[in-house]
Amino acid sequence: MNIFMYNNNGTNIPNIGFYICHCGHNIAGMVDVTDVQKYAASLPGVTVSRDYKYMCSDPGQELIQKDIKEFGLNRIVVASCSPLLHEHTFRVATEKAGLNPYFFHMVNIRENVSWVTQDFKEATKKAKDLVRAAISRVFFHKPLIKKEVPINPDVLVLGGGIAGIHAALTIANAGKKVYLVEREATIGGHMAMFDKTFPTLDCAACILTPKMSAVKSHPNITLWTYSEVEKIEGFVGNYKATVLRKPRYVIEELCVGCMDCIDACIYKEAKYSDEFNLGLSMRKPIYIPFPQATPQVVLIDPETCIDFKSHRCKKTCIDICDREAIDLKQTAKYDEINVGTVILTTGFKTFDAKRAPQYGYGKFPNVFTSLELERMVNASGPTSGEVITRDGKKPAKVGIVHCVGSRDEKSNKWCSKVCCMYSLKLAHLIKEHTDAEVYNFYIDMRTPGKGYEEFYDKLMNEGVNFIRGRVAEITDWALVAEEENKLTIRVEDTLVGVVRRIPVDMVVLSVGLEPREDASDISRMFNISCSNEGFFLERHPKLAPVSTFTDGIFIAGACQGPKDIPESVAQAGAAAAEALSLICAGTIELEPNTASIIEEFCSGCKSCITLCPYTAILYNEDTKKACINEVLCKGCGTCVASCPSGSIIQNMFEDEQIYGEIEGLLKFAGIELADNKTEGKEIEHA
């Protein structure tokens, strides 16, 4: 076996420095580190062997650097914690001492040994085995060079809710170009549907619409509403997205939003359910979602327009439009854009209250969802701000049921975080609009946030009833006279310790927040992960909350998990900053653990191409060989293992490196080196 490999120092003999870390008591408490250190010293090629309390500390790193210079070490092995934590630290230390960082190798004897073993002897033996394997492996290490790729400064923001709006504006204000793609006909998202925001009771529209028009008029923002991303290819810094522009049958550039066409529609009465008002009002086939919709452009719903159904409409809308903006022949078109980074702000959906049948949503007309109430209390909503039951009466008693579809093993396990606060807000607004007696039924009142607890206190002092107990059912059967023709809420008042039946005129279900139906499709398209509950998974829950496991793809807002407006805005700002930090760096370094094809052996069978999870392999029609894009390759090794002709190799995982490691693990490979002597070696432990 050829062991005389590359090294930096012009000699061909591996000159290994070995270091074992105590990690306080984490390792030293279960592994005899001195024994391992002495053992490593006896292994071939090892010149220096030391143990130290904390290798990751500055003195620990300096120890390695000093030895590299003093003893001319050309391989470094550190036995300590997981490479996830400190591989980077030691590579940088190695590089600073003038050695190629890929001559460094790390052995995990904490997570893999001391933390999972209870026998001191066994642990020490296992540590020795792993160390022997690593020392055997580094004989075959090669110097590697990191690759750099340029970053396209354009950004794609997907989703035009408050998070997307804020992210787009932040990046655009930094002078970078942004494509904001929104599925609906207008931006604004859920926030546009709200009347007031908690806890300040600011008018939602008043604070949102200026940002919406800023998006529309910003020279750096290309706003595409009624559009969806169909496909995304590429890698960090160089993504190519295909965007579907759905036909609205109105030419966006020509329409000024005068709405004459809506008046002129042959339907004199609006008779189709208005999506924006959740079916609480009606619209015509030609409509605008809401008065402040951005862009101010009408659209035609082909499902309900007579001309699309029978082609026999008088087309009064076309006649009235002097700008000739209506185009019933419009078709979907696809636009391709190149961007360097993507921010996903696709938001959430509310829990479908019909999934909790005990609350009678859809069965009892006066059971509403919280979002319906948001529309109802809104002055521009279906009732012009009046809170009324379906028969048009002001309710005298209203019950607000918290945690509908949240904290429930049967639907969603998680706390939706915003419901307590929006329920308090709705309680306040209902009381303000109707002077009704309002009951809040809660399991726990969760009001962490600036000014939130104070808002709760304010509500209590307004005389809103707070009953701690999860509502078991909402029924229409009466036990006593006062319950006749009412909705009766059955609940245990757990603070008093009695079961109560509370008759009310109106029930509001505080529905929880869920991932969107197509969240998993989006995650697959952008090659990111979803957590168990289906929200997009961040790279690290604490330290990388807006990054994903795919470089250059960031997440912000409620698509990552339930959150309120200030949190969504904060995340959007953070995601924008992350994107800008990549853009400003201009280039990005890639790990060199990539695979490559040995062309002379490749038979062109294409079996690797379909297996690659990162679409990094292409087939070169000219040479009839596979070809790996090193920028896309993540070094997963799938293609290496699958290649029938063994024509794919991967940096850092070459056959001889792996065999060396295996042989070392099983039994030291029996390689004899010229100067294999224990005497004269630097043996020391701190």
Binding interface with other proteins (CB under 8 A): 437, 445, 457, 460-463, 465, 467-468, 479-482, 493, 495-503
> Closest CB to other proteins among 216 and 468?
468
Q: What angle do CA 10, 12, 14 make, to 5 degrees?
A: 110
Q: How far is the CB of 483 from other proteins (least distance, A)?
A: 8
**Cβ proximity to other proteins, 464 vs 558, nearer residue:** 464
- C-alpha pair distances (Å), 216 with each of 224, 294, 298, 344: 10, 7, 16, 19
Distances (CA, A) of 242 to 227, 228, 612: 10, 9, 21
Taking the least distance from each CB to other proteins, the nearer of 259 and 445 is: 445
Sign of the torsion angle spanned by Cα atoms 91, 93, 95, 97: negative
Do 163 and 250 form a contact (C-beta atoms < 8 A)? no
> Least Å distance between CB 423 and other proteins?
16
Helices (H), 311-378: 316-320, 370-377
Strands (E), 53-113: 75-80, 104-108
Q: What is the 3-state secondary structure (H, E, C) of 412-466?
A: CCCCCCCHHHHHHHHHHHHHHHHCCEEEEEECCCCCCCCCHHHHHHHHHHCCCEE
For residues 161 and 560, the answer to whether their CB atoms sit within 8 Å is no
Asked if omega into 14 is within 30° of 0 (cis), the reply is no
Which residue in this structure is represented by tokens 């010229």? 674
Looking at beta carbons only, is 246 or 500 nearer to other proteins? 500
399 or 405: whose CB is closer to other proteins?
A: 399
In the bound complex, what is the minimum distance in angstroms from residue 508's beta carbon to other proteins?
A: 18
List CB contacts of 667: < 8 A, sequence separation 6 or more: none
Tracing tokens 């130290």 back to the chain, one arrives at 52
* DSSP H or E segment with residue 588: strand 587-590
185 exposed, middle or buried (CB, 10 Å; 0-12, 13-18, 19+)? buried
The distance of closest approach from Cβ of residue 460 to other proteins in the complex, given in angstroms and rounded to an integer, is 5
Which long-range CB contacts under 8 A does 312-315 form with residues at least 24 apart?
313/266, 314/266
Closest separation between CB of residue 480 and other proteins, Å? 5
Closest approach of other proteins to the CB of residue 445, in Å: 8
Nearest CB to other proteins, comparing residues 465 and 531: 465
Residue 461 CB, nearest approach to other proteins (Å)? 5
Nearest approach in angstroms of CB 397 to other proteins is 9
| Shortest reach from residue 366's CB to other proteins, in Å | 17
Are the C-beta atoms of residues 449 and 421 closer than 8 Å to each other?
yes
Cα 213 to Cα 218: distance, rounded to the nearest angstrom: 8
Nearest to 343 by CA among 573, 567, 531, 156: 156
Nearer to other proteins, 488 or 523 (CB): 488
Q: How far is CA 143 from the centre of its chain?
A: 35
Q: Which residues pair with 440 in a beta bridge?
A: 400, 466
Q: What is the DSSP letter of 365?
A: T
The distance of closest approach from Cβ of residue 399 to other proteins in the complex, given in angstroms and rounded to an integer, is 11
Q: In this structure, what is the dihedral angle of CA atoms 245, 249, 253, 254, given to the nearest 10 degrees?
A: 180
Beta carbon nearer to other proteins, 254 or 496: 496
Helix intervals (H) in 97-153: 120-138
For the CB of residue 549, give the shortest distance to other proteins in the complex, in Å: 42
Least distance to other proteins from the beta carbon of 489, Å? 10
Between residues 202 and 457, which has the closer beta carbon with respect to other proteins? 457
In whole angstroms, the minimum distance from the beta carbon of 23 to other proteins comes to 43
- Tokens matching residue 53: 């309390």
Q: Between residues 279 and 451, which has the closer beta carbon with respect to other proteins?
A: 451
Nearer to other proteins, 206 or 498 (CB): 498
Nearer to other proteins, 315 or 470 (CB): 470
* Residue number, 224 or 439, with CB nearest to other proteins: 439
Half-sphere exposure of 321 (CA within 13 A, CB side): 25
